[in-house]
Structure 1
Amino acid sequence: SALVYRADPSSQAVTEFRSTAVAEGLATFENPEHDYPRRITYRRLSSDSLVAEIDDGTGGNRREFRFRRVRCGG
């Protein structure tokens, strides 16, 4: 069964994206009916970093967001 990613942006309707690829260190979710993005991909780069990519479903209008784990103060 597919995983479902529910995007809930501020002041916008919730949009569901169904998984189309799930593997070690990778998860891709798609919704071809959504205006933008149509595809969201999460890829683990290392034990403390990942990259999220969004695009129009064909690889066009691609944006990339890099995340890194940081220690919390305290």
Structure 2
Amino acid sequence: MTAHPTAAQATQQARDLATDLGIRMKSLCFLVRDRDREYTDAFATVFQAEDIEIIKTRSAPPGPTPTANA
């Protein structure tokens, strides 16, 4: 995709995934994602239309994390 995706690009990728999976999309129950701003309501709608529950991860606690990018 790109180093700096937009919300529209993320939504299009979700639509493409749904199209590629076709009937197999019905076997999915959950989508675990972070709270990045690229994941808008339009992105969520793609999965909610297939009755897939979206679970957002918790945000990281504030403060220094020197080994986070080790």
Normalising by structure 1, report the TM-score.
0.31
Greater strand content: 1
Q: Which has the higher contact order (CA 8 A, sep 6+)?
A: 2
Greater helix content: 2
